[in-house]
Amino acid sequence: MQASRSIFEPYAWQQTHWLQMVKRFHSSRLAHAFLIHGAVGIGKLDFAQAYGRYVLCQDNVNGEACGRCRGCQLNQAGTHPDFHVIEPDSSGKVIRVDQIRALIEFSVKTAQQGGYRVVVVNPAERMNINAANALLKCLEEPGDKTLLMLVSHQISAILPTVRSRCQLMAFDKPEASIALSWLEPLCDDAEQAKGLLALSRGCPLGARVYLEKGLEKQIEQMQKDLGAITRGHAAPVDIAFGWQDFEQMLVLEWLASWVAEMANYASTHNDACINSVSIAKMLSYIAKKAGARKLLAFNAWLLQQRSRLAGQINLNRQLLMEMVLFRWLQLTMKP
């Protein structure tokens, strides 16, 4: 399932950034390193790659790659020798120092197609400390016509020395109307698109992932199970057993999001703080019982577990889900 978009184009909600970067390129004011940051699921990596292909196009004009030149043909085939993407070898792994050393070696060589050399590092916060320190050499002494595009979902996790040597580009979530116009053609109807966009907290590519993987059903089951635990109709251990096949990173992200909504509601007593309409009644009930301090502590713990899971620290995943659900139950229990 794909939305209609060329690999040489930005998304509709990225036009402002795109035109700025195109102007920089044609006025010879292109910095050697950019750090693109923002929420997961808004197309930052796609933007970085599309712009890299634009820079490597030998006949780019009016903000568009030609799609026909030798550079564009190589990029279409994924074999352009002057375009590299550096990522962890697999989910949960880090970007290693030897990958960055290879980047440095690449950056000082003459471009095989006679133009720029482009490197995309994604996500930049997954560089281990040795890799990040090695990257400083390339940032401080970039090769001629070398363009580095760092993509980050969590800019605070990147070394200040790396951040300070890059031009920062903050990407916001698109307006709902623009996101929905892109998402609706992929969905059964407008209501499904609205529901998916709400679940992904306004991130259209995240919504597409939910659609492609059928994660709506997982969320519906989670909400049903959490309701059963809250009412005392199910035990956390039994529910945790049923959650074994769920994508646990997403479980922690959704729970953290719902807990954050409850914490905001508990602090302000403003109904607008609860955006999850399907479980609004349950969330407001728990928020009133638990209070903001307890909810904030739980949210911090969930984020900590998510970081541990991302780092693939040896975790008993069944036990983790049991702990998560026991803590959920404790939100409505007296001290």
Taking the domains of the chain in order of start, what are their residue ranges?
A: 12-172, 175-213, 217-330
**Would you say residue 245 has pLDDT above 60?**
yes
pLDDT number for residue 53: 97
pLDDT at 261: 93
Predicted confidence at residue 1, as pLDDT, reads 42
Which fold is adopted by the domain 12-172?
Rossmann fold (3.40.50)
pLDDT of the residue at 304: 87
Residues 6+ apart with CB under 8 A from 295: 259, 262, 263, 266, 287, 331
The pLDDT assigned to 314 comes to: 62
Contacts of 51 (CB under 8 A, 6+ apart): 10, 18, 21, 149
**Candidate from 70-84, 117-131, 231-245, 314-328 with smallest mean pLDDT:** 314-328
Q: b vs e for 286-298, b when ≥16 Cβ sit within 10 Å of the residue's Cβ?
A: bbeebeeebbbeb
Q: What is the pLDDT of residues 305-335, one digit of tens each?
A: 887 776 655 668 789 899 999 999 999 987 6
**In this structure, are strands 167-171 and 83-86 parallel, antiparallel, or unpaired?**
unpaired
Alpha carbon dihedral 231, 234, 240, 245, in 10-degree steps, equals -100
User: Distance between CA atoms of 106 and 121, rounded to whole angstroms?
Assistant: 13
Give pLDDT, residue 2.
Answer: 45
pLDDT tens digit sequence for 38-53? 999 999 999 999 999 9
For residue 311, the model assigns a pLDDT of: 63
**Helix 317-330 × helix 215-230 angle, to 10°:** 50
Whether pLDDT at 187 is above 80? yes
CATH topology match: 12-172 vs 217-330: no
For domain 217-330, the CATH architecture is Up-down Bundle (1.20)
Q: Dihedral angle at the C-alpha atoms of 271, 277, 279, 284, nearest 10 degrees? A: 0
pLDDT of residue 92: 67
pLDDT of residue 123 exceeding 90: yes
Burial string for 66-81 (b: 16+ CB within 10 Å, else e) reads ebebebbebbeeeebe
Chain position carrying tokens 């939305």? 3
Is the model's pLDDT at 90 over the cut of 80? no
- Kindly give, in sequence order, each residue whose CB lies less than 8 Å from that of residue 214, ignoring residues fewer than 6 positions away: none
Q: Which residue has the tokens 């209501």?
A: 191
Q: Is the peptide bond before 335 cis (omega within 30 degrees of 0)?
A: no
Specify the residue for token string 């320190």.
133
User: Of 335 and 94, which is predicted with more confidence?
Assistant: 94
The confidence band for 33, taking pLDDT boundaries of 50, 70 and 90, is very high
Across 150-173, average pLDDT: 95
The residue-averaged pLDDT of 63-87 equals 95
Under a CB-based contact definition with an 8 Å cutoff, are residues 332 and 230 in contact? yes
pLDDT at 308: 77
